[in-house]
């Protein structure tokens, strides 16, 4: 998948392992870090991301909660008020919705409504996105709800080393972070050493994953490997595509995106979430505002359709794929 620098002595590791290791290391370093959620203890989570944490740190540090997302996040708020640093697992994207009132009315606003006196350092891990053949309510791209809520930091890794580095940074953050885990990349592998994890840039910094000159693909999370594949395939068409991985949606690293698009003069935003009101709408608007005189073509988007998430047998038609990305790049007015 992505171009990850290979360090000497490293072995292949999965994103799932890197995420688990990030929580383990955070818990070992900071006794106030508590992991909680449905099935995160004995079972290690339905995706096994928290595997081994309850055994190593005890059930008081990695807690199987009752099955109630508002209660989980609401309790985490109280724990954070008392000085703990909860890491909450929402089992699936669409199962996080019962917690929205807690998230929007309390978690996102507490720093603001207490004039900075009581920030809430809570990390809310949400496996999100499609492509795993999940039945209804298991494949939503819910990021638009989160990015529309001021006070939340919204992070999404696309590589193994970012999974570790960004989760550590999220847990260390004094602000609440919605940490969106691209579940179809859980088993993606890269050379990565858990004992000497690579330093990664912090939250709020986008990275150019592939340099190019013809056009910029702007993406994040589950769509990064798709864009990287598309960029490789585009060489046959004579296009040298640059790929920007946002890594966090809030804060949005506008400068990296703008600098790239000013260089290439063309931009396509790619994400699984629907296009109307999706993050790509805002990104395209900002590019239009700040790169107008550098653009050779209108900013285009490749997004999920504006439909409820489809049944798994049809999801391949819904998700942004290499062909649809290349077709879209082809519409960037090259003839001029």
Partner 1 sequence: MPASYEEVYAAMTVQELPGAGASHRSTPPPAWRPRTDAAALLPDPEPYRVLGTAAADKLDAELMRRYYAELVRGRRYNAQATALTRQGRLAVYPSTVGQEACEIAAALVLEDRDWLFPSYRDTLAAVARGLDPVQALTLLRGDWHTGYDPREHRIAPLSTPLATQLPHAVGLAHAARLRGDDVVALAMVGDGGTSEGDFHEALNFAAVWQAPVIFLVQNNGFAISVPLAKQTAAPTLAHKAVGYGMPGRLVDGNDIAAMHEVLTEAVERARAGGGPTLIEAVTYRIEAHTNADDATRYRTDSEVEAWKAHDPVELLERELTSRGLLDAEGIQVAKDAAETMAAALRDAMNAEPVLDPMDLFAHVYAEQTGRLREQAELLRAELEAENE
Which helix or strand (DSSP H or E) is residue 288 part of?
A: helix 279-291
The reply on whether position 330 binds partner 1 by CB under 8 A is no
The reply on whether position 232 binds partner 1 by CB under 8 A is no
Q: Has 318 been annotated as catalytic? A: no
- Burial letters 281-305, b for 16+ CB under 10 A, else e: bbbbebbeeebeeebebebbbbbbe
Segment 145 to 174, residues that bind partner 1, using CB under 8 A: 150-151, 153, 173-174
Considering only 101, 306, 323, 327, the residue that binds partner 1 (CB under 8 A) is: 101
Q: In whole angstroms, give the CA distance from residue 241 to residue 236.
A: 11
Of these residues, 138, 293, 294, 318, which one is catalytic?
Answer: 138
x/- letters, 6..45, toward partner 1 (CB under 8 A) = ----------------------------x-----------
Show the tokens assigned to 254: 């506008």
The reply on whether position 179 binds partner 1 by CB under 8 A is no
The DSSP bridge partners found for residue 85 are 33
CA dist 155 → 51, 95, 124, 168, 182 (Å): 22, 18, 10, 11, 11
DSSP label of 223: G
On the CB side of 114, CA atoms within 13 Å amount to: 13
CB of 114 to partner 1, least distance (A): 5
Burial class for 109, CB neighbours closer than 10 Å (0-12, 13-18, 19+):
middle
Stretch near partner 1 under the rule CB under 8 A, chosen from 94-102, 129-137, 188-196, 321-329:
94-102
Considering only 1, 4, 46, 70, the residue that binds partner 1 (CB under 8 A) is: 70
Considering only 28, 43, 81, 314, the residue that binds partner 1 (CB under 8 A) is: 81
Question: Phi and psi for 85 in degrees, rounded to 5?
Answer: -125, 80
The reply on whether position 79 binds partner 1 by CB under 8 A is yes
SS3 state of residue 249: strand
CB of 167 to partner 1, least distance (A): 18
CB of 314 to partner 1, least distance (A): 33
Q: Which is nearer to partner 1, 46 or 70 (CB)?
A: 70
User: Which stretches of the chain bind partner 1, using CB under 8 A?
Assistant: 34, 60, 65-66, 68, 70-71, 73-84, 98, 101-102, 105-106, 109-119, 150-151, 153, 173-175, 204, 250-252, 254-255
Active site residues: 138
């Amino acid at each position: 998948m992505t171009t990850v620098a290979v360090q000497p002595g490293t072995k292949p590791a999965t994103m799932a392992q890197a995420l688990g290791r990030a929580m383990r290391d955070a818990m070992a370093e900071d006794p106030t870090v508590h992991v909680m959620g449905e099935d995160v203890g004995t079972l290690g989570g339905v995706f096994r991301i928290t595997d081994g944490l309850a055994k190593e740190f005890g059930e008081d540090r990695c807690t199987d909660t009752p099955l109630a997302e508002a209660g989980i996040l609401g309790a985490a708020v109280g724990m954070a008020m008392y000085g703990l640093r909860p890491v909450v697992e929402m089992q699936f994207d669409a199962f996080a919705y019962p917690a929205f009132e807690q998230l929007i009315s309390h978690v996102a606003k507490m720093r603001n409504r207490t004039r900075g006196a009581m920030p809430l350092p809570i990390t809310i891990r949400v496996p999100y996105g499609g492509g795993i053949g999940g039945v209804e309510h298991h494949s939503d791209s819910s990021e638009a709800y989160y990015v529309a809520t001021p006070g939340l930091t919204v992070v999404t890794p696309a590589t193994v080393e970012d999974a570790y580095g960004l989760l550590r940074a999220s847990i260390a953050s004094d602000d609440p972070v919605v940490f969106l885990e691209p579940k179809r990349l859980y088993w993606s592998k890269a050379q990565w050493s858990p004992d000497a994890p690579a330093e990664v840039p912090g939250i709020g910094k986008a990275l150019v994953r592939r340099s190019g000159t013809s056009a910029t693909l702007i993406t994040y999370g589950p769509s990064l490997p798709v864009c990287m594949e598309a960029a490789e395939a585009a060489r046959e068409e004579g296009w040298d595509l640059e790929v920007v991985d946002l890594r966090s949606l809030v804060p949005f690293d506008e400068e990296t995106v703008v600098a790239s698009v000013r260089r290439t003069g063309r931009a396509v935003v790619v994400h699984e979430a629907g296009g109307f009101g999706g993050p790509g709408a805002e990104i395209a608007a900002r590019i239009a505002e700040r790169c107008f005189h550098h653009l050779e073509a209108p900013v285009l988007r490749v997004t999920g359709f504006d439909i409820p998430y489809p049944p798994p047998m049809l999801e391949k038609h819904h998700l942004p794929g290499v062909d649809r990305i290349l077709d879209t790049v082809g519409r960037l007015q090259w003839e001029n």
